[in-house]
Structure 1
Amino acid sequence: MTYYGKIKNYDSSIGKGRITPENGGDILAFRKSDLKDEDSAPQLDQRYGYDVKDADNGKRYAVNVHLQAETANTVKEQARNQAG
């Protein structure tokens, strides 16, 4: 399932960042290797789609992080998908 959120921070020197989920919950960490487009550094407050991975240590991480274009149809479709 794809979730959506905005980039809270990203440090390109170490290749790590955090994303704030749109629907609340814990802020999730991600790595540069989790970005679909590793050549572009994410910008603060950009909307991204992502999947969630549960690690062995009990923490959750954002993976398959990708920039989300915002159009009226896309937003409606995403709302339907997240509603179940």
Structure 2
Amino acid sequence: MTHYGKIKSYDSSQGAGTITAEQGGDVLSFGKSDLRQQAQEPQVDQRFGYDTKQVDGGKTRAVNLHMNQGTSEKAAKQQA
């Protein structure tokens, strides 16, 4: 099941970040390898779709992150 959230933080030097779920809940971590498009770095407040996976003894992590072609991106393109 795909979840949606916004990037809370991303550190390009470490290749790691966090995402906040739209539906509430815990802030989830992810790594650059979890991005479908690894060449494009995520920016704070960008909306992404993602799946979750249990790692490290039951800790939940965001995986398979992909850019959402949502309304915020369409609005940004229209303003440009």
TM-score by length of 1: 0.82
Which letter maps to 1:33? S
Match of 1:34 in 2: 34
Q: Structure 2 stretches of 5 or more lacking a match?
A: 72-80
Q: Distance in 2 between matches of 1:55 and 1:17?
A: 16
Cα distance, 1:55 vs structure 2 = 1.2
Match of 2:74 in 1: none
Q: Distance in 2 between matches of 1:63 and 1:16?
A: 12
Match of 1:76 in 2: none
| Count of residues in correspondence between the two structures | 71
TM-score by length of 2: 0.86
Q: Distance in 1 between matches of 2:17 and 2:9?
A: 5
Q: Distance in 2 between matches of 1:55 and 1:14?
A: 19
Which letter maps to 2:65? V
Alignment partner of 1:20: what SS? strand
Q: How high is the sequence identity, in percent, across the aligned residues?
A: 59
RMSD of aligned Cα (Å): 0.8
Q: Distance in 2 between matches of 1:12 and 1:42?
A: 9
